[in-house]
Amino acid sequence: MTNLNNNVAGVDTDFDVVVVGAGFAGMYMLYRLRQQGMRVRVLEAGGSVGGTWYWNRYPGARVDTETMFYSYQFSDELQQEWEWTQRYPSQQELHAYAKHVADRFDLWPDMQFDSPVEKTTWSEDRQSWTIETTDGALITSQYCVMATGCLSAVNTPKYKGLEDFSGSVYHTARWPEEGVDFSGLRVAVIGTGSSGVQSIPVIAEQAAQLTVFQRTGNYVIPAHNRALDPEEVAAIKADYPALRAKASASFSGNYFPVGGQSAMAVSEEERNREYESRWQEGGLAFMAAYADFMTSEEANETASEFIRDKIRGIVTDPATAERLAPKQLFMCKRLCVGTDYYETYNRDNVSLVDVSETVIDEILPEGVRVGETVYEVDAIVLATGFDAMTGALKRIDIRGVESVSLRDLWEDGPRAYLGLAISKFPNMFIITGPGSPSVLTNMIPSIEQHVDWISDCLTHMRINGVSRIEPELDAQEEWVAHVNEIADLSMRSTCSSWYLGSNVDGKPRIFMPYIGGFPAYVRKCNEVVEAGYAGFAFR
Ligand code: NA7
């Protein structure tokens, strides 16, 4: 073990902070900590920066949030100089942006790639973390920041026979860097969440035959992706701080018009005009048309039925249209944004198999068996998503005070104070952890808010000569109770989604993100600081 004998606040460690993950959270954390003069090492499992935008290289992968606002705002020079080309840029463009950020701020020397972290162990004697990578290397650090991402631990269903399939199997979130050529092949796509919705139309254009296996039909709003107009970009850049502040003041941290009234407060004609206008505009703004989609079934049904009607109008085969039409509440699952998604089912080489009741029984060497039918294919694409929010943390063997295991502590669901830190895990922070708004918001502003909070906290500790921080159990339990209580007020917690962990066999059913909105959450974090870091114990 190297020991660089760096003495910070009386603690001998190789580094002041180890950051796990070099996605947008890990990169900005590194930038901030280095500005504070800290010695930092970032450990990243992948081969480059970008996190989500490194791994999700599947055909058609692009962000579903308008990128002029889904981007860093911590550096005005960066946001002024970087030129986005599209309203919803591709994975390649987002990855290029991540690399540009690493170049521009000279982040590379402090980041180590192809270094998955296997274990992190707290030592009360040494007051430091020992972090172990899969190749057995050990480093010590006074603090450990988990920037491991909310949607990074891949969910691969345990289909009987999958390993004996005679063709190739791909997961959308682990796509080969060199790409895949499906020309002339019969392809199965399993899963119709965002990754399936984005990849299906692109794969359909190349494959000889595409069979989509759908367990749940999703609501898909057209993206209407387009090249950004230089005048529009210039206008946003001229007013960036004010527009960013406006976005941060909105419930989801997004920059789009939010309808504050009930869907039932207006006439059917007016409602449908509003839905039509948002459908034509495209994107996630559809979900902000009215305020009560998640509290009134009646309001929800109006939006659901509008979209089902759109599907019936687009898909020419009525039986396929009915299979595609979502049955669950609108917005209960994450809303999808797509390009030619429903239109793709009008192609002669595309068919849809409903596996909601008759499920996929097994994978045979020649294909996918559903009940008595075998669908012969040459390649299988698993667009089956993630073990969201807790998966990336639980896959690391994290040991806190007295060697307590995070996996054991979170067996019945995650418990974290503000989604930022965990009792019994001193000097460890999580960026956008469970119990914070995270995936219900525009992720990059949420990441920046957490990174800023953590950086300020470490500065506070240094100024005050303290070297150990840990949430008090009471404060944590109170926050977790609050997170659950407000989740129960929303219909979002009533159906199956990865927000609740219900996509992963055996995962406890707990609504994991904080549903009270970005502004309320930021206020709470600030109040905690103003009250002298209320709920945290320092030593
Ligand atoms: P999602 O949204 O979790 O979608 C995964 C899809 O895979 C979804 O349709 C699942 O059906 C389906 N799935 C999962 N397991 C199975 C099994 N065993 N059999 C059949 N179908 C299955 O993941 P994505 O990668 O598409 O998107 C994740 C997020 O990334 C997205 O929300 C955006 O925020 C960006 P289910 O709905 O569970 O019935």
Atom in ligand 1 nearest the alpha carbon of residue 194: 26
3-state secondary structure of 416: coil
Q: How far apart are CA 339 and CA 20, in angstroms?
A: 34
Atom in ligand 1 nearest the alpha carbon of residue 502: 38
For ligand 1, atom 34, the nearest C-alpha belongs to 334
Alpha helices in 223-381 (DSSP H): 230-238, 240-248, 268-281, 297-314, 318-324, 341-344
Low-confidence ranges of the chain (pLDDT < 70): 1-11
**The pLDDT of residue 6:** 41
What DSSP designation does 126 have?
T
CA of 383 to the centre of ligand 1 (A): 6
The residue type at 431: I
**The pLDDT of residue 459:** 97
Specify whether the CB–CB gap between 37 and 110 falls below 8 A. no
Specify whether the CB–CB gap between 128 and 142 falls below 8 A. yes
pLDDT tens per residue, range 150-188: 999 999 999 999 999 999 999 999 999 999 999 999 999
Q: How far apart are CA 42 and CA 152, in angstroms?
A: 17
For ligand 1, atom 29, the nearest C-alpha belongs to 194
Long-range contacts at 395-400 (CB < 8 A, ≥ 24 apart): 395/153, 396/20, 396/117, 396/118, 396/119, 396/120, 396/146, 396/148, 397/118, 397/119, 397/120, 398/119, 398/120, 398/425, 398/428, 399/119, 399/120, 399/121, 399/122, 400/122, 400/424, 400/425, 400/426, 400/428
Which residues, 6 or more positions from 461, have their beta carbon under 8 angstroms from its beta carbon?
9, 467, 469, 538
CA of 196 to the centre of ligand 1 (A): 8
**The pLDDT of residue 10:** 52
What DSSP designation does 434 have?
B
CA of 384 to the centre of ligand 1 (A): 4
**The pLDDT of residue 169:** 98
CA of 168 to the centre of ligand 1 (A): 20
**The pLDDT of residue 28:** 99
CA of 147 to the centre of ligand 1 (A): 23
How many CB atoms are located within 10 Å of the residue 264 CB? Answer: 14
For ligand 1, atom 17, the nearest C-alpha belongs to 157
CA of 430 to the centre of ligand 1 (A): 24
Phi/psi-derived region of residue 320, left when phi > 0, alpha when psi is between -120 and 50, beta in every other case? alpha
Which residues, 6 or more positions from 163, have their beta carbon under 8 angstroms from its beta carbon?
none
CA of 250 to the centre of ligand 1 (A): 27
Best residue among 63, 156, 215 to mutate for probing ligand 1's pocket (most ligand atoms within 8 Å of CB) is 215
Atom in ligand 1 nearest the alpha carbon of residue 382: 7
Specify whether the CB–CB gap between 302 and 271 falls below 8 A. yes
Atom in ligand 1 nearest the alpha carbon of residue 385: 23
Best residue among 56, 189, 357, 384 to mutate for probing ligand 1's pocket (most ligand atoms within 8 Å of CB) is 384
CA of 184 to the centre of ligand 1 (A): 26
Structure tokens at 484: 């659950």
What DSSP designation does 203 have?
H
Best residue among 63, 189, 195, 213 to mutate for probing ligand 1's pocket (most ligand atoms within 8 Å of CB) is 195
CA of 126 to the centre of ligand 1 (A): 43
3-state secondary structure of 268: helix
CA of 402 to the centre of ligand 1 (A): 37
Structure tokens at 457: 């906290």
For ligand 1, atom 11, the nearest C-alpha belongs to 215
3-state secondary structure of 120: strand
CA of 79 to the centre of ligand 1 (A): 33
CA of 191 to the centre of ligand 1 (A): 5
| All domains in the chain, ordered by first residue | 4-153+388-538 (3.50.50.60), 156-218+333-385 (3.50.50.60), 256-328 (no CATH)
How distant, in Å, are the alpha carbons of 96, 189, 385 from that of 345? 32, 13, 22
State the Rg of the chain over Cα: 23
Which residues, 6 or more positions from 458, have their beta carbon under 8 angstroms from its beta carbon?
17, 33, 36, 38, 143
* Pair type for strands 428-430 and 11-13: unpaired
Q: How far apart are CA 406 and CA 14, in angstroms?
A: 24
Specify whether the CB–CB gap between 184 and 331 falls below 8 A. no
pLDDT tens per residue, range 399-419: 999 999 999 999 999 999 999
CA dihedral 73, 77, 78, 83 (to 10 degrees): 110
Report yes or no on whether pTM surpasses 0.95: yes
Alpha helices in 395-517 (DSSP H): 406-409, 443-463, 473-488
**The pLDDT of residue 12:** 76
Q: How far apart are CA 536 and CA 146, in angstroms?
A: 18
For ligand 1, atom 23, the nearest C-alpha belongs to 385
Secondary-structure breakdown of the chain: helix, strand, coil percentages, each rounded to the nearest 5? 35, 20, 45
Q: How far apart are CA 362 and CA 372, in angstroms?
A: 11
Ligand 1: lining residues by beta carbon, under 6 Å: 151, 157, 172, 190-196, 215-216, 334, 355, 360, 383-386, 498, 503
Which residues, 6 or more positions from 424, have their beta carbon under 8 angstroms from its beta carbon?
400, 401, 402, 404, 409, 470
Which residues, 6 or more positions from 294, have their beta carbon under 8 angstroms from its beta carbon?
300, 331, 490, 491, 492
Specify whether the CB–CB gap between 476 and 417 falls below 8 A. yes
* Pair type for strands 168-171 and 186-190: unpaired
Specify whether the CB–CB gap between 222 and 339 falls below 8 A. yes
3-state secondary structure of 3: coil
Specify whether the CB–CB gap between 432 and 150 falls below 8 A. yes
Backbone angles phi, psi at 399, to 5 degrees: -120, 120
For helices 24-35 and 443-463, what crossing angle results, to 10°?
Answer: 30
**The pLDDT of residue 11:** 63
For ligand 1, atom 12, the nearest C-alpha belongs to 191
What DSSP designation does 386 have?
B
For ligand 1, atom 37, the nearest C-alpha belongs to 216
For ligand 1, atom 16, the nearest C-alpha belongs to 384
Specify whether the CB–CB gap between 445 and 521 falls below 8 A. no
For ligand 1, atom 33, the nearest C-alpha belongs to 194
Atom in ligand 1 nearest the alpha carbon of residue 191: 7
How distant, in Å, are the alpha carbons of 24, 118, 148, 154 from that of 422? 22, 19, 15, 24
- Looking up tokens 């989509």, which residue turns up? 212
